[in-house]
Amino acid sequence: MENALLCLNVTIIDRMNTFYVTTPIYYANSVPHLGHLYTMIVADAVARHKRQQGIETYFLTGTDEHGINIERAAQRAGRTPKEQADYVVSYFKKMTSEFGLDENHGGYDIFMRTSEPFHYQGVSEFWRRAARAKTPKGNDAIYKGHYEGWFCAACAAYKTEDEYAKPKAPGEPPTCLVHDTPLDRVSEESYFFRLSDYAESLLALYESRPDFVRPESRNNEVTSFVRGGLQDLSVSRLKTSVSWGIPVPDDPDHTMYVWFDALTNYITAIGFGNEERERVAGFEKFWPALHIVGKDILRFHAVYWPAFLMAAGLEQPRGIVAHGMWVDANGRKMSKTLGNTVELDVLNRHFPIDAIRYFCLRDMVFGQDGKFSYEALIDRTNSDLASGLGNLSSRTLTMISRYCKGTVPSPVIAEDKLLQAKRSGIDTDETTISGFIAHARDQFVQQFESLAFSRSLEIAWSIVARIDKMISDAKPWELAKDENQKQTLGAVLYRAAETLRWLCVMLYPIMPAATLEIWSQLGLSDSGSPAQSDPEKLNWGDLSRGKAIGEVKPLFPRIDKGKTMTEINGQERQAGAGVRSDKASGKVQSPQITGTAGVPPAVSAQREPGEHPHGVHATEADAVPASPNAPQTQPPPPMHHATEADAVPAAEGVTGFIDITDFAKVELRVGEVLTAACIPKADKLLLLSVDIGEDQPRQILAGIAQYYEPDQLVGRKIAVVANLKPRKMRGYESQGMLLAASVGDEGKPVIATFTEDVPNGARLK
Ligand code: MSP
């Protein structure tokens, strides 16, 4: 759970004048896929956030071009290793350009290539320093010896007995547990790095800087690996075995181990060991870096790299953050070797870039593995972006255009109009809404800086829901008909427009193109840019009234799920990609379909511009999807997992059973509590907003205030009766009911919950 990250309670991105963030440099043996794109998106969002704060930021990505893996890929393709690297780099550059991650789109500052001459120079200097160094135990840090063991070319790693599978047949080599490919036997002279002498220093480092490796679970993993004892590391290969590598200084018969070469890129890129490069970027200025990596390569970054830096006498990184993997339906890491990747061309053809960015950060709980499915991506895009942010933006701007002659109205309601405004259902105290939004913004930033992106976006979307509700409650299209309500109308639309301005700034790092577009539609193109606005410095009311808005254009068109899936299935079959192809049926399968959210009914042609397309929240009657069969009473639903088999006819003489069809009338869904609050003068009730996988969270009242603190509930997964007729209590509409056991004589409620991770909106049956 993301809570594991949250409970670190550490602000990962601290404040200094400069900030340096890196992705891994990717192997130049095969073309990029969603996994590579994901790390880039995370690092790009972090870099943009730092730039918004006015901090000089340097963002590195690139390719790792040496080693046996690249040499073999080149041989297979009939290319030289350098040609192979150039070929793969062209695909990575295509990815960064098409997905808006390169320097032309405000993304990376350097696409680092380890075949760069300045890198050769810097790595050689780094090696020399390490070779001169003594370990903490007074031994030579690098020494010559003989290596005997197994090596996985795809991992570029030596494998110990517990890291490979036994040979499939006698005489065959063992296979890599990660890649399922045969290992190479290595038996040759080699330089060794005396890693075994660094165990205590590494443990001291982890202990003194508990946030050096994050999340905490990964920190524990690394610590126990080091506690288990470290073996010296072979850091060279004979040139006769691996010729495509950087020569060991003063011993050209050896080339450097590719990880020694690759890790050092983080400092050579900014000028270590090369004065000219130092002038261009600045090792002194930017080091140390925050390394964002997949958990697959954590050991290299959190054990080997710090030890190499210790030997070379250089400062340790700012931190190492390991994210989870996109995995296939069988839980295997998406990778080219396994042929189970999500292709970038398919993504690019069918989805807006910002929808992909949003999905990656919203759906993958940072630090955990995530299963990808196109269906989930379509659902998210339709519910959160088309119907959520996109709809809020277009309804607000269309109404300003239609009812306010296309200029931002004044938020002020004169004294003599206040009573009327109140009667129309708006809170005349603007600070209620601005206070809510400022508080949400603070939480958003806090979560973002802890790299809890998914949570931060949930918080941002609570703002979207709140403003949507404000509009639906106030019904500007009705206000516009009444001359006396012009100021009320203005106040509502001003609040919505000002909120959009805030959302642009908050969400810019996640969705740069969409937020810049909304910014321009708000008529703000000449008033700075979200790219340079610090979300923490937003000031409510800075949106100038009287300013002309820009042209209103749709932002995220709805994606036709059936049509798009048919097209994707066809393309995937043609491309022969493995991730979702069910070989037997030839049909693309989703490894995971999350919930049933996001397929709301079509927009009515007669609708007023601001009306919510789904009618939710507008009135009591349409607050819940109308279902002619919805039960009018509240049956206490059985909480066990009922199946057809359970629905045996009632035994003779036993009364009180219901038929399975009765039970089927009750729509039970998994919900996640987004917010919880007490209700003034109602000491038993809590007001919850619960995400049950629909476009908008449900507002649910629960009589549990005497037993649960609101804070205890936020983030909890609960079971919700979703098709209960809405009803009003204490002036609040309740759009569902949560399930709880009733315990003891006093009927103490104990909320029903889940011990496993379940997607919001999943049906209980
Ligand atoms: N060349 C080394 C890294 C050297 S860094 C000094 C390497 N390259 S790689 O091409 O295999 O890239 C691995 C990284 O790509 C992962 O750590 C992660 O950042 C990203 N991903 C590759 N596949 C991924 C998934 N299936 N899911 C998420 N990220 C993945 O290792």
Distance, in Å, from the CA atom of 688 to the CA atom of 674, rounded to the nearest integer, reads: 7
User: pLDDT band at 338, cuts 50/70/90?
Assistant: confident
Distance, in Å, from the CA atom of 176 to the CA atom of 152, rounded to the nearest integer, reads: 6
Nearest CA among 312, 317, 322 for reference residue 289: 317
- Which residue(s) pair with 293 in the sheet? 322
Which range among 12-21, 148-157, 275-284, 321-330 shows the weakest confidence by mean pLDDT? Answer: 12-21
Residue nearest to atom 25 of ligand 1 (CA): 35
43 pocket-lining for ligand 1 (C-beta < 6 Å): no
Distance, in Å, from the CA atom of 179 to the CA atom of 338, rounded to the nearest integer, reads: 7
Taking the centre of ligand 1 as the mean of its atom positions, its distance from the CA of residue 294, in whole angstroms, is 6
Residue nearest to atom 5 of ligand 1 (CA): 24
Query: pLDDT at residue 353 above 60?
Result: yes
The pLDDT tens digits for 190-209 are: 999 999 999 999 999 999 99
333 pocket-lining for ligand 1 (C-beta < 6 Å): yes
Nearest CA among 667, 703, 670, 665 for reference residue 684: 703
Distance, in Å, from the CA atom of 269 to the CA atom of 93, rounded to the nearest integer, reads: 17
Residue nearest to atom 2 of ligand 1 (CA): 26
Residue nearest to atom 15 of ligand 1 (CA): 36
Query: pLDDT at residue 333 above 60?
Result: yes
Backbone angles phi, psi at 271, to 5 degrees: 120, 5
Query: pLDDT at residue 5 above 50?
Result: no
DSSP-derived 3-state class of residue 424: coil
Nearest CA among 79, 40, 49, 112 for reference residue 344: 40
Q: What is the mean pLDDT of the segment spanning 178-198?
A: 92
Residues in the chain: 765
Residue nearest to atom 18 of ligand 1 (CA): 294
Q: What is the pLDDT of residue 631?
A: 30
Q: What is the pLDDT of residue 642?
A: 27
Which helix (H) or strand (E) segment holds residue 687: the answer is strand 682-691
Residue nearest to atom 29 of ligand 1 (CA): 35
Q: What is the mean pLDDT of the segment spanning 684-690?
A: 85
Query: pLDDT at residue 570 above 90?
Result: no
Query: pLDDT at residue 63 above 60?
Result: yes
DSSP-derived 3-state class of residue 679: strand
User: pLDDT band at 573, cuts 50/70/90?
Assistant: low
Query: pLDDT at residue 124 above 70?
Result: yes
Distance, in Å, from the CA atom of 63 to the CA atom of 86, rounded to the nearest integer, reads: 10
Query: pLDDT at residue 588 above 60?
Result: no
In sequence order, the 6+-apart residues with CB closer than 8 A to the CB of 93 are 102, 111
Taking the centre of ligand 1 as the mean of its atom positions, its distance from the CA of residue 329, in whole angstroms, is 19
The pLDDT tens digits for 384-396 are: 999 999 999 999 9
Query: pLDDT at residue 615 above 60?
Result: no
Q: Are strands 732-734 and 737-738 parallel, antiparallel or unpaired?
A: unpaired
Residue nearest to atom 24 of ligand 1 (CA): 35
Arithmetic mean of pLDDT over the chain = 85
For the chain, report the end-to-end CA distance as a whole number of angstroms.
24
Q: What is the DSSP letter of 7?
A: T
369 pocket-lining for ligand 1 (C-beta < 6 Å): no
Nearest atom, ligand 1, residue 29 CA: 10
Taking the centre of ligand 1 as the mean of its atom positions, its distance from the CA of residue 24, in whole angstroms, is 6
Taking the centre of ligand 1 as the mean of its atom positions, its distance from the CA of residue 40, in whole angstroms, is 10
- What is the per-residue DSSP string for 140-171? BSEEEEEEEEEEETTTTEEE-GGGEEPPSSTT
Distance, in Å, from the CA atom of 78 to the CA atom of 521, rounded to the nearest integer, reads: 52
Q: What is the DSSP letter of 506?
A: H
493 pocket-lining for ligand 1 (C-beta < 6 Å): no
Q: What is the pLDDT of residue 656?
A: 54
What tokens were used for 503?
């959302």
DSSP-derived 3-state class of residue 26: strand
pLDDT cut 90: percent of the chain above it: 65
- What is the per-residue DSSP string for 241-270? T--SSPEETTEEEEEE-HHHHHHTHHHHTT
Query: pLDDT at residue 587 above 90?
Result: no
Residue nearest to atom 6 of ligand 1 (CA): 263
User: pLDDT band at 594, cuts 50/70/90?
Assistant: very low
In sequence order, the 6+-apart residues with CB closer than 8 A to the CB of 295 are 218, 322, 323, 324, 325
Nearest atom, ligand 1, residue 23 CA: 19
Q: What is the pLDDT of residue 207?
A: 97
Query: pLDDT at residue 590 above 50?
Result: no
CB 57 within 8 A of CB 18: yes
DSSP-derived 3-state class of residue 661: helix
The pLDDT tens digits for 400-436 are: 999 999 999 999 999 999 999 998 888 999 999 999 9
Query: pLDDT at residue 654 above 60?
Result: no
**DSSP helix, strand, coil percent of the chain (3-state; round to 5):** 40, 20, 40
DSSP-derived 3-state class of residue 321: strand
Q: Considering the entire predicted model, what is its pTM?
A: 0.76
What tokens were used for 153?
């070319």
